Structure 1
């Protein structure tokens, strides 16, 4: 009878393409056959006869295999993939608009970064994310090594922020963010994460970010840790207490910063609030960005204009000026749809680790997207922060492609993983 049972399972698995699905179906069918046999034996049937009947009750192995193949096959989120490809190609627009202002071919470089980003996204998509859950401390250790190296052994600094150059690749604080996200998603998906560990790791990593120093990376990091913390299995009492404490510390820090800040730093804040009063210094950029936004009109402006960061942090202002309000609005709509789609996928995931990964992905993507939009529109102070897939550069392109790869990965396995949770 063992041969009959194994032949049945073998025929079922022949119709299933996914290796992971095969393992799951084999385990589940073996369990159900065992249960069915035990039930019939308890009613007086002989073991051999009970096993034979249990196999027959399963029906056609071919039909069963085809059913499971359709049910558990890895799925592609074509909506998310389409939005990703559309957005990443729109990232060439800012460079097309101003390429003639530069001697170096940044358009070609960004095209290469886009190809690398697509490779990263598809590569990450095909790695079974479930196998990374147990690597949480490896992720943390690797992140700490990079942060310590950036703090104490940088090869250079840009605008005061440390970086390390290796074989043409630049490693900075932003490089560490997705690795830390993997750690926090894994640790905070535990049934009972330890609060002291959470506090200790967070405080130490914040300290290392402050050594770089990188305010933007610190803000992004704190936002996604906060989101993952709030969606963890910790009690609501602990979460609400932590939120209250956090806001209290932020308020105290802002007050200390305001009263302890130097004059030029205070002027920067006042310039954001009243740029016209500081038009000759700190308010200049705010007024120029406003000029770009209003000067684009519906269909764009063909008069050349130069402003620092037109291809990076101010890429949206670039597109608004040269391509017009309609195309800029379309770009914002596409990016909003990309975020909305990832939020929808997050709501479909029952696996705790997969859910936390999606929360981290959405938080890490949204803080970049929303802050950059708010900054360009004049609602938020100017800082160094990229617009996902639109700002020039290898690091932001690879970072956000990695996030899309994670989202595609989790969606790809959602039916199989969700079935395991039933």
Structure 2
């Protein structure tokens, strides 16, 4: 759908009269909690990463604001170019990426390192939104199996390149974003059942090709006591930290698991463990309530989007936020395998912060323009 040129003359104050300020408030609240929590998590384990995280969040807020100023339908035209560019970056990672802890996931731009896999989440959401916006009107009776083969390929291409790095967690999120959009595209029930079967078969086929440490994480999830000092160490120490927080927690910077460096990756993948140990069950409920408010607000934006592109884009971005929270918290408390997924706005990482803030900016953009002709 071509952009409505009449929007060019719309006063910015009229647009911002419909700005979803409740979304901005929740995002800023989670960001503030994240910085505060990182201040504790990095006291003994790392350099004060909360300082650089604050800087990245400031940049992210600027990016989000800039994104809201451009009619989101302009991104419709750029969706495929952006998708192709991200695929090229993922290919470059395989050749020129930096090796860190046995994985090749980062590209260097001078002093700055970034993960193209984070951009893949946005690129898949944009590409599928563009595809479904143009194609779904032709599918009045819903999508059959062959009708979703191309969307399926759009998801799998970057996901497989990310899995090769290896980065199982981000690959799963990319697939979750795409499949969430597919679920909202009126896919026939028989096709969904067939996809579920293909997913199970695919998991069985992919499993032998996982890295040994990835296999071990799955095996220790199924049998937590099998290798408590090896592959199961992360999950075990995390559950100890979460449980030791009890109702009200031990207090900021008083976590024994955190200060004793028992928690691996406590400033990234296991940042929720730090929060749970120091702020307890009540603190966890507060944080999860904020995430719930964020996701429900973005679901409302998706449901009331003014066009199909905005609807499918908001669905994909909402799926990205929801699945990252769901998988990260699930692995931290031991109900899901450890796969390396960050917690939005809580885990340290510049690439992740910029992508989340960009997603929030796009969601606010869709929300504030649903009332404008």
TM-score range, shorter chain: 0.7 to 0.9
CA distance in 1, matches of 2:190, 2:295: 29
The answer to whether the Cα contact below 8 Å between 2:42 and 2:267 also exists between their aligned partners in 1 is no
Q: Which residue of 1 aligns with 2:143?
A: none
CA distance in 2, matches of 1:363, 1:129: 18
The answer to whether the Cα contact below 8 Å between 2:124 and 2:178 also exists between their aligned partners in 1 is no
CA distance in 1, matches of 2:216, 2:235: 13
Q: Which residue of 2 aligns with 1:186?
A: 130
Residue 231 of structure 1 deviates from its aligned partner by: 2.2
Q: How does 1:127-276 map to 2 (within 5 A)?
A: 127-172=70-115, 173-190=117-134, 191-192=137-138, 195=148, 197-232=150-185, 236-237=187-188, 240-256=189-205, 267-276=216-225
Structure richer in helix, relative to its length: 1
Deviations 1:327-370 (A, max 9, x none): 12101111111111111121122311111111011111111011
Match of 1:161, SS? strand
Match of 1:128, SS? coil
Aligned in 2, Cα 1:266/1:345: closer, same or farther, shift over 3 Å?
closer
CA distance in 2, matches of 1:372, 1:138: 31
Q: How does 1:304-383 map to 2 (within 5 A)?
A: 304-306=259-261, 307-383=263-339
Range that drifts further, 69-78 or 407-416:
69-78
Q: How does 1:34-183 map to 2 (within 5 A)?
A: 75-102=18-45, 104-172=47-115, 173-183=117-127
Range that drifts further, 96-105 or 289-298:
96-105
CA distance in 2, matches of 1:267, 1:214: 15
Aligned in 2, Cα 1:387/1:354: closer, same or farther, shift over 3 Å?
same
Residue 163 of structure 1 deviates from its aligned partner by: 1.7
Deviations 1:268-288 (A, max 9, x none): 333112323322222222221
Of the three residues 227, 236, 239, the one matched with 1:290 is 239
Structure 1 unaligned runs (5+)? Answer: 1-18, 25-67
The answer to whether the Cα contact below 8 Å between 1:117 and 1:401 also exists between their aligned partners in 2 is yes
The answer to whether the Cα contact below 8 Å between 2:159 and 2:172 also exists between their aligned partners in 1 is no
Q: Which residue of 2 aligns with 1:48?
A: none
CA distance in 2, matches of 1:262, 1:198: 28
Q: How many residues are treated as equivalent by the alignment?
A: 353
Higher Cα Rg: structure 1 or 2?
1
Match of 1:92, SS? helix
Aligned in 2, Cα 1:159/1:165: closer, same or farther, shift over 3 Å?
same
Deviations 1:381-405 (A, max 9, x none): 0111111101111111111111110
The answer to whether the Cα contact below 8 Å between 2:119 and 2:355 also exists between their aligned partners in 1 is yes
Match of 1:360, SS? helix
Residue 201 of structure 1 deviates from its aligned partner by: 3.4
Q: Which residue of 2 aligns with 1:391?
A: 347
CA distance in 2, matches of 1:324, 1:121: 32
Q: Which has the higher contact order (CA 8 A, sep 6+)?
A: 2
Q: Which residue of 2 aligns with 1:13?
A: none
Aligned in 2, Cα 1:218/1:77: closer, same or farther, shift over 3 Å?
same
Kindly report the root-mean-square deviation, in angstroms, between the aligned alpha carbons of the 2 structures: 2.8
Aligned in 2, Cα 1:318/1:188: closer, same or farther, shift over 3 Å?
same
Aligned in 2, Cα 1:257/1:406: closer, same or farther, shift over 3 Å?
closer
Deviations 1:109-162 (A, max 9, x none): 111112112111111111111122122321222122112111233243444233
Range that drifts further, 254-263 or 271-280:
254-263
Match of 1:404, SS? helix
Segments ≥4 residues shifted beyond 6 Å: 68-73, 259-264
Deviations 1:38-81 (A, max 9, x none): xxxxxxxxxxxxxxxxxxxxxxxxxxxxxx99987752111111
TM-score w.r.t. length of structure 1: 0.76
